[in-house]
Amino acid sequence: MNASLVIDFVRDTFKSTDFIPLHAPFFGSNEKKYLAECIDSTFVSSVGSFVTEIEIELKNKLQCNHAVAVVNGTAALQVALQLSGVNRGTEVLTQSLTFVATANAISYLGAIPVFIDVDLDTMGLSPNSLVHFLEEFGELRENRLYNKSSGREITACLPMHTFGFSSHIEEIIRVCSEWNIPVVEDAAEALGSMSGNQHLGTFGSCGVFSFNGNKILTAGGGGALVTNQADLGIRAKHLTTTAKVHHPYEFVHDEIGYNYRMPNLNAALLKAQFEKLDWMLSKKRELALKYNAFFANSDIELKWEIPGTKANFWLNTIQLESKEHRDLFLEETNKKGVMTRPVWQLMFQLSMYKECQKDKQQNAQFLADRLINLPSSIH
């Protein structure tokens, strides 16, 4: 199937002859109303009722015990890793097929990422590759895990649910439990996605979401950290609000904290977005089914949810037969006003992470050479 046929299908689906973006936000109903209420209240910064309401909405939707709204998903990742025991000079097992924020959050804490390969079906961290790495390099000493190659302690595993598709998260959790590694889920792209009857982001010690402008729900910016562990939830709120000790008027801070709490203005926008989440998810699935029917029996593979999981279809992703085919497809679609994008450059190919330890990365490289994201807005 050539790019021209795909361009025609996309234009017909979106009923547009103009530029078609990859993923535009959708606004309607109460966004302007809640923003006006927030402005009228004068509480537009990090204190206000909308922040509290969003945290309650997240807990109820995800069926978790604690949710903390923060300024962006990267900040949430950094704090989640810190809460899980990551500190300077330790290592975090993660994937190279991911957005740079995943690796950066590790680096902010002075820790070092180690890149484990992904699975072809999920595009997420491979539990089999994780097992192979741990059997070769892992060493438990007094219930703490060390990397025999580097001598450094491994303090966490950070899988990312790529484009909203569930990784083999239950298997990852099982493997990490055997090796005494906390799991932090990067579910930045996976709000509304599930494995079995459980929401992604709630399997590990902490989970993280993003509400950037290109996500299913947006606060303009923003993110959230969720957990079922009371001690982590309480400490997350404390750390992200400058570690200020509660007092009627004194300013007392008992450790180095972060000014990471989501502003009330952003939370007001997000509250209106949250009211449409189920509808948005249904529209995303409707679009995915149209793509699925279109690519059926073609030489282009549309990536799909694995059995037992439910994707949010944040981005519809196709796999082409070669890098050459991918490059030609990207050039033609973008030249003709249909925005398509490859996956991110693999993390170990970036200058700041090229010296990091990695396994063979065969699947990650295979996918990076062939994957393309298609327009996925709900308009």
pLDDT at 184 over 90: yes
Instruction: Determine the average pLDDT of the residues in 159-164.
Output: 98
CATH 3.40.640.10 domain residues, the chain: 31-275
Residue in the block written with tokens 């947006």: 218
| CA 247 centroid distance within chain | 35
Angle at 357 between CA 353 and CA 363, to 5 degrees: 90
Please list the residues that pair with 310 across neighbouring strands: 194
Q: Is the pLDDT of residue 130 over 90?
A: yes
Confidence of residue 28 (pLDDT cuts 50, 70, 90): confident
What's the Rg (C-alpha) of the chain?
Answer: 21
- And the tokens for 82? 């810190």
Correct CATH for 3-26+277-345+370-374 of 3.40.50, 3.90.1150, 1.10.1060, 1.10.20: 3.90.1150
- The Cα–Cα gap between 342 and 111 comes to 28
Q: Tell me the mean pLDDT in the region 331-347.
A: 98
Q: What is the pLDDT of residues 228-271, one digit of tens each?
A: 999 999 999 999 999 999 999 999 999 999 999 999 999 999 99
**pLDDT tens-digit readout, 262-303:** 999 999 999 999 999 999 999 999 999 999 999 998 999 999
Edge-first strand listing for the sheet containing 112-116: 112-116, 91-95, 154-158
What is the C-alpha to C-alpha distance for residues 329 and 309, in angstroms, rounded to an integer? 30
C-alpha to C-alpha distance for 139 and 148, rounded to whole angstroms: 6
Query: Would you tell me which CATH number, out of the four given (3.30.1490.480, 1.25.40.340, 3.40.640.10, 3.40.190.10), belongs to the domain 31-275?
Result: 3.40.640.10
Distance separating alpha carbons of residues 352 and 263, to the nearest angstrom: 31
Of the candidates 143, 142, 126, the residue with the CA atom closest to the CA atom of residue 179? 143
Asked if 185 contacts 207 with a C-beta cutoff of 8 angstroms, the reply is yes
Place of tokens 């400490």: 235
pLDDT band at residue 17 under the 50/70/90 scheme: very high
pLDDT of residue 47: 86
The fraction of the chain above a pLDDT of 70, given in percent, is 100
- The percent of residues above 90 in pLDDT, for the chain, comes to 97
Confidence of residue 379 (pLDDT cuts 50, 70, 90): confident
Q: Give the span between the Cα atoms of 37 and 32, in whole angstroms.
A: 9
The boundaries of every CATH 3.90.1150 domain in the chain are 3-26+277-345+370-374
Say yes or no to pLDDT of 218 above 90: yes
Residue 46 has pLDDT above 90, yes or no: no
Give 185-188 contacts, CB < 8 A, sequence gap 24+.
185/158, 185/159, 185/161, 186/77, 186/98, 186/102, 186/158, 186/159, 186/160, 186/161, 187/161, 188/73, 188/77, 188/99, 188/101, 188/160, 188/215, 188/223
Residue 1: pLDDT over 90 = no
- Supply the pLDDT for residue 322: 96
